[in-house]
Structure formats: C-alpha cells, structure tokens
Structure 1
Amino acid sequence: MEEKEEGRAVNGVVVVDECWWWAAASAAQLGWGISTFRKGYAGDSRLMPFKAFAVASLFVGAAASAAVASLRASGLRSVEDMKALGTNIRTELGLRPRARDK
C-alpha cells in the first residue's frame, strides 16, 4: 500500500496539497457574505432574523474555512503537532517549560 504525502512526489506521482480547496471555500463564503450584507434586505420583515442568521453563518463559515486552510498549509495535522509547536516557540523565546500538575 502506498503512503500518501501531500505536496511531494510519491512513487513518481505528485500529490497536490489540498489546502487550496479550503482557501477557495473561505474566499467564496466571504464574498457571498459581503455581497448579501451590502445588498440589504427587501421583503417581509418577519424573515429578517433568518436573513441576519444566514449572513452571520457565512462569515463564521469563512473564518472557519480560513483557519483550516492555514492549519493544513502550515503542516499541523494533530494536537501533538500543535503542542510541539508551542514548546518550540517557548524554547526559542527563552521561556522555561510550564510546570505540569501531577
């Protein structure tokens, strides 16, 4: 069974990073949210809360998609990777390791 590594040639086949899908989704949601927000609301006033919730959901979804894209692009795949990154940052700043509760 072949092991897939993103962005590298594996057994002669180039595997493309998939983080651009997340970035495209984020840009699309953000654009849709901005256009919907700028268009305003014309219609029955009873549906205004639904429209506000829909626009807010587009902005939250865009932020979530952008966050996933940045994590995937940076190579962070698990919580252990994030812990190691935090430890490396603290070490580079010259800070002592945090005390662990036992």
Structure 2
Amino acid sequence: MEELGGGGGGGGRGYWWWAAASTAQIVLGIRSYRRGHAGDSHLMPFNAFIVASLFVGATASAAVAALRSSGIYSVEDMKEAGANVRTGLGVPPRAQDK
C-alpha cells in the first residue's frame, strides 16, 4: 500500500514532503513576523492568528517528518519505540493494565 507523502516507507524515502512543508511554513512565518503590522489595526488579531498558525503548522509538519523518517507509523510502533528506549536505559518495563 502506497503511503501518503510520495512513496512512504521508513528510511527517509517519503518524509521529504513533510520536511519541505515544515521549512516553507517556518520561512513564511518568520517573514510575516519580521514584516510586522501594516494596515488597519482591526485586522491585527487576525494577522497574529495567521502567523501563530504558521508556526504551529511548521512544528506539526516537522514532527510528522521526524516520525515517518524513523519508521513510526502507528501508536503500536510508538509504544514499541518507547519500550526499546526504556530497555536501553535499564528501566524496568511498565506494569500492563488489563
């Protein structure tokens, strides 16, 4: 099954779309922030929301790129990665609630 993002799969093949989106959003957010406010003061809250949304979107895109590039595609994959980190640190496994 082909994954979204241009090829999917781990190992860095399909996450570059997410990384490109993150980079574009952060650059646009920084440009908008540096440009500052111009125009009617009634639009300032809307402009601030747009700039904040660009930063939040860039963070989300970067997080998805990082997860996809490391081969994590589901919650089960994340749980397995967490268990591996705990084992590597020498921390005993958590008790399973049933």
Q: Same fold (TM over 0.5)?
A: yes
Call closer, same or farther: CA 1:85–1:7 in 2, change over 3 Å.
closer
Where does residue 74 of structure 1 map in the other structure? 70
Indicate the larger mover: 84-93 or 32-41. Answer: 84-93
TM-score, normalisation: structure 2: 0.86
- For structure 2, the residue ranges without an aligned partner over 5 or more in a row are 3-7
TM-score, normalisation: structure 1: 0.83
1:7, 1:100 → 2: CA distance? Answer: 29
Structure having greater relative contact order (Cα 8 Å, sep ≥ 6): 2
Please state how far the C-alpha of 1:89 moved relative to its aligned partner.
Answer: 1.0
Size of the aligned set, in residue pairs, is 93
1:78, 1:35 → 2: CA distance? Answer: 34
Instruction: Indicate the percent of aligned positions where both proteins have the same amino acid.
Output: 63
One-letter code aligned to 2:62: A
Where does residue 94 of structure 1 map in the other structure? 90
What RMSD over aligned residues (CA atoms) do the two structures have, in Å? 2.0
Please state how far the C-alpha of 1:99 moved relative to its aligned partner.
Answer: 1.8
One-letter code aligned to 1:44: D
One-letter code aligned to 1:30: I
Indicate the larger mover: 36-45 or 85-94. Answer: 85-94
